[in-house]
Structure 1
Amino acid sequence: MRLFLAVLALVSGGAALWLWVGAPKVQTPVSQVIQQAAEDVPVSVVALVATRSLPAGTRVTETDLEWANLPVRSVPSGAALQALIPDAEARMVGMVLLRDVEQGDAISWGDMATTATTRLSERISENMVAFAIVVSEATAVGGLVRPGDRVDVFQVQRGGPATETTFINIGQDLRVLAADQTIQPSSDVPAIPPRTLTLEVDMAQLERLGRAQAEGGLLVTLKPKVDLPRP
């Protein structure tokens, strides 16, 4: 009897082992794997942003920066992330912005220069070029245009059938990169009005400005920091 029970136990154990080994494995569907991987990717990150609109050439202070949660897709490459550099805010204080930054925009390390004595080429945006126009106190808002300002440029055409003077807008909302050799924004009135303004333009604007300057007669108008709707 004992022998019979021993044989029965052995057979039962073998059958159970065969069922466990031979039974088909339950696999997780690929869609579930992909979904789980997507859920593991963070939808937002903590990045350093501007607390106000900052023009190029601004020396950054503590009140200009703050940490904010931003969607991952809206964060540019090279942005200052809290998870990577927790003291990025302190490191950027005293640096100089190389481009205009709007309030709430993420700031990247490529936007910053360690000193104010940066090259003009470092201030030019991608796909843009620097082009200098000759101006005078009479044609450039009394010589009060500063680096970082925005201007419109008009071609002045005199004569014609009606001997009238016409003004053609050939450059809208252009950023002033430099006034003479000055590239830093300043509220000080220069002792001598600038004789040249270096503007940031695209290739189409460059062609129009170059042709107009060769023909003579350019007029510069200064734009406000924020264009208000006309009544």
Structure 2
Amino acid sequence: MRMIFALFLVLGVGLAGVAVYMAQKTIAQSQAERDYLLASQAHMPALVDVVIVKHPLKYGERFTIDDLDTAKMQANKVPPGIFNTINAPQGTPEAKLAAFYTGETRPRAALRSYEANEPLLASKITAPGVDAGIMANLAPDMRAFTIQVDASTAVSGFLRPGDRVDVYWSGQVGDQPVTKLIDTNLKLIAIDQSADADRSEETQLARTVTAEVTPEQVAALTLAQSTGRLTLSLVGMKNTADLGTIEVDRNKLLGIQEQAVVKVEAPKVCTIKTRKGTDVIETEIPCN
């Protein structure tokens, strides 16, 4: 009987030791996992709230607060012009990064297409109550100027709203045809009657393009368009060159060197006239 009791006692102590060992191992593993998570969390980048669209939006489509949601995004990866909150009271610090003021019922409109869950950008939407169009694309104090074009003067129909172009003038200066760069890096805000930069229909030859310009540029382009022919040159996305002054005439194009015209004066002749009776005689004398 004592032997059985002793055996059970030893077995119980052994099981207790195993249980303590397993508990310590589990606790140590939990502490290691906790320390790893805390260390990972300490090295994780900060996250911020970003306003996103709940469903796809087409160019010009209106949206309200009900069409928006928020999501977390890495703080150092957010694009410029994002919103941090859907709505906030006007005049508060939060209102500067709010898509709508609290109580605003007027919709905004998309200036380009959006996919579902895509961040909303301030530069790609209109102000509340404003529909998409040329006025919504104009920067403060800028004007819209329309240039008449065709296939040969508008890059064969490959221009889109948002592209930038250089403008060349071709006309007559004196007795020579001349082509000159008159403006650079103009932003196009509409092609024909469309301001949609995401239009995906087949390439069509535009008859007009509308550019964003200053009032002074309006005057210069109006004069240029009435006195000659304007040609557009598409500017590349990675353009950084300063073009300076570009002007080509016929002689420069063909490499013709103009010869200076030297006027040769005829020798001066001096004479005197004398009368003999009814005859007048002209005699050559040295000129003084």
Two-structure CA RMSD over aligned residues (Å)? 4.6
Return the match for 1:127 from 136, 141, 164: 141
Q: Does 2:229 match 1:213?
A: no
Tell which structure's C-alpha radius of gyration is larger: 2
Q: Does 1:182 align with 2:194?
A: yes
**Counterpart-to-counterpart distance in 1, 2:50 and 2:230:** 41
> In the alignment, residue 213 of structure 1 is paired with which amino acid?
Q
Which residue of the partner structure matches residue 37 of structure 1? none
Structure with more relative contact order (C-alpha pairs < 8 Å, separation 6 or more):
1
1:124/1:109 Cα in 2 relative to 1: closer, same or farther (>3 Å)? closer
Runs of 4+ more than 6 Å apart: 46-49
- Whichever residue aligns with residue 183 of structure 1, its letter is A
Q: 1:84 aligns with which of 94, 98, 108?
A: 94
The aligned residue for residue 200 of structure 1 is 212
Amino acid at match of 1:205: Q
Q: TM-score normalised to the size of structure 2?
A: 0.43
SS in 1 for 2:94: coil
1:166 CA displacement: 2.2
Deviations 1:121-151 (A, max 9, x none): 1111011000101001011111211111000
SS of the aligned residue for 2:188 comes to: strand
Relative to the length of structure 1, the TM-score reads 0.52
The question of whether the paired residues in 2 share the 8 Å contact of 1:170 and 1:205 is answered with: no
1:204–1:137 distance in 2 versus 1, CA, 3 Å: same
- Counting only pairs closer than 5 Å after superposition, residues 106-185 of structure 1 correspond to structure 2 as 108=122, 112=126, 118-158=132-172, 160-161=174-175, 163=176, 165-185=177-197
Give the partner amino acid of 2:197.
Answer: P
Unaligned runs of 5+ in 2: 1-47, 52-58, 62-69, 86-92, 100-107, 113-120, 243-288
Counterpart Cα distance in 1 of 2:158 and 2:196 = 14
Q: Which runs of 5+ in 1 are unaligned?
A: 1-45, 50-56, 70-74, 99-106
Does the 8 Å contact 2:168/2:182 carry over to 1?
yes
CA drift of 1:228 comes to 5.1
- Take 1:112 and 1:186, find their aligned partners in 2: how far apart are those partners? 16
Provide the aligned length of Structure 1 versus Structure 2: 157
Q: Is residue 152–residue 171 contact of structure 1 (8 Å, CA) maintained in 2?
A: yes
Find the aligned partners of 1:174 and 1:47 in 2 and give their Cα distance: 35
1:187 CA displacement: 6.3
Which residue in the other structure is 1:21 paired with? none
Q: Deviations over 1:1-39 (max 9, x none)?
A: xxxxxxxxxxxxxxxxxxxxxxxxxxxxxxxxxxxxxxx
Match of 2:142, as an amino acid? M
Amino acid at match of 1:80: F
